[in-house]
Every structure is written in C-alpha cells, then in structure tokens.
Amino acid sequence: MPTLTTYQTRILPEWVDYNGHLRDAFYLLIFSYATDALMDQLGMDSQNREASGHSLFTLELHLNYLHEVKLDAQVEVRTQIIGHDAKRLHLYHSLHLAGGDKELAGNEQMLLHVDLAGPRSAPFTEQTLGKLKALLTEQSDLSPPAYIGRVIALPPAR
C-alpha cells in the first residue's frame, strides 16, 4: 500500500506571502489538518474524543521546506506511519502537488495519546492499536522517508 492521502487543498490567497509563496506557518496548518484526518481514520474523531476523553498531543515535529508552493496550487498530503508504542505515534507527512511525485515539504511528528482529564499520557485503545498495526503492515514495503531523524545543527567550528 502506498502512503495514505490524508488531506487535499488548494493554496488560498491569504496563505501566500510577499514572494508569492506559501507562508511557513501554512505548511504546518496543512500538515495539522492531515493529522486530524489520520486521527479520524484511526477512530479518534471528535465524537470519540468527547466520549473517551482521550486525544493526541504533538510532542515534537520537524518541518522541511523543500520546494516552493505557489498560489492556487492543488496539493495533497501523504502520510506514512513510521512506528508506535503503547502511547506514542511516530509519523511522516509529505506535501505534493496533487497527483505528483515530487516532495514539496516533509513533516515528521511524534504524537502522544493523552487522557484529557489529567492531562496525562494514556495507552491507546486496543481498537486504535489494531488500526495502527494494520497501517504499519500495509505500508511495510515503503522505504523510510529521506527526511526523518534529522537534527538541526551547525557544523563544528574549526
């Protein structure tokens, strides 16, 4: 199975900067909507959040801007599950022109399953774990994305 297409949109005028490019913050907005769509697919939609009192919180993310995205472009986010444990989900979103192969931006995320009453970390339900395991199995033939596990740093001074 290829990566999941989790979100599609057109680049809106209010998202574009003075250079005619998608503003930095709106890349993350698009990826955030893709995370919401993945949560829905995992059964963690708004009704489930209200009923269970559980949700996902973002612990960390890395965003790589790879190519320009311009006004009115039709884009889509493809999502790959990298891994999970009992409480955390590691995923990767890539932004593409709709139907295109070239990666325009990449977004690695580490999410935590949270009991909102605490708030405190909580294990995923068996149903969610089953869906995560199924997605991992379906995506097992995918290569790891090129932009995961990166660290921001300057080279050592000489």
Handedness of CA 40, 45, 48, 52 (dihedral sign): positive
Q: What is the pLDDT of residues 16-71, one digit of tens each?
A: 999 999 999 999 999 999 999 999 999 998 888 888 899 999 999 999 999 999 99
Segment 118-123 long-range contacts (CB within 8 Å, at least 24 positions apart): 119/57, 121/87, 122/54, 122/87, 123/86, 123/87
Query: pLDDT band at residue 3, thresholds of 50, 70 and 90?
Result: confident
95, two tokens? 């932004």
Confidence of residue 149 (pLDDT cuts 50, 70, 90): very high
User: Which residue, chain included where needed, has tokens 């995320």?
Assistant: 109
Give the other-Cβ count within 10 Å of 76's Cβ: 18
Using CB atoms within 10 A of its CB, is residue 62 exposed (0-12), middle (13-18) or buried (19+)? middle
Residue 18, judged by CB atoms within 10 A of its CB (0-12, 13-18, 19+), counts as exposed
Q: Say what the pTM is.
A: 0.94
Whether the per-residue pLDDT at 11 is higher than 90: the answer is yes
Confidence (pLDDT) at 96? 98
Percent of the chain with pLDDT over 90: 89
* Predicted confidence (pLDDT) per residue in 65-93, tens digit: 999 999 999 999 999 999 999 999 999 99
Q: Which of 46, 112, 119, 32 is nearest to 77 (CA)?
A: 32
pLDDT for res 46? 86
Query: pLDDT of 99-137, one tens digit each?
Result: 999 999 999 999 999 999 999 999 999 999 999 999 999
